[in-house]
Amino acid sequence: MTTKEKGWKQISMAGVCWKPSTQYLTGDWKTYKPVRDLEKCTRCVLCVLFCPDGAINWKPEKNDIQFDFDFCKGCGICANECPLDAIEMKLEEET
């Protein structure tokens, strides 16, 4: 028997999801995408702490942060919290 996998909208209220959230690539929800100015960014990692989706990661091997666009929903919190205005939210089709 084959089962058609349900999307997140079919999960009932207070229902338990049958697979980990890491398997739902929610990045396609976004309209706006964060674009970082590498000259302005001081790698302070505040945006890493503020991102509600864990979509910005610190990469020690690069000594830099990295966006994970598979999970970034384009909420703009990182841009709002960056103390140096190093992140600009741009329409995805313009990036």
Stretch that binds ligand SF4, among 4-12, 14-22, 84-92 (CB under 6 A): 84-92
The site for ligand SF4, by CB under 6 A, has a size of 26
Could you say which of 17, 25, 44, 91 contacts ligand SF4 (CB under 6 A)?
44
- Torsion on CA atoms 62, 67, 71, 76, rounded to nearest 10: 150
Closest CA to 71 of 47, 54, 91: 54
Report which secondary-structure segment, H or E, holds 89: strand 87-91
Distance of alpha carbon 67 from alpha carbon 56, whole angstroms: 4
Q: Specify the residue, 11 or 66, whose C-beta has the smaller distance to ligand SF4.
A: 66
Residue 95 in the binding site for ligand SF4 (CB under 6 A):
no
Q: Specify the residue, 41 or 92, whose C-beta has the smaller distance to ligand SF4.
A: 41
Closest CA to 32 of 79, 75, 66, 67: 75
Footprint of ligand SF4 (CB under 6 A): 34, 36, 41-47, 51, 53, 55-56, 65, 67, 72-78, 82, 84, 86-87
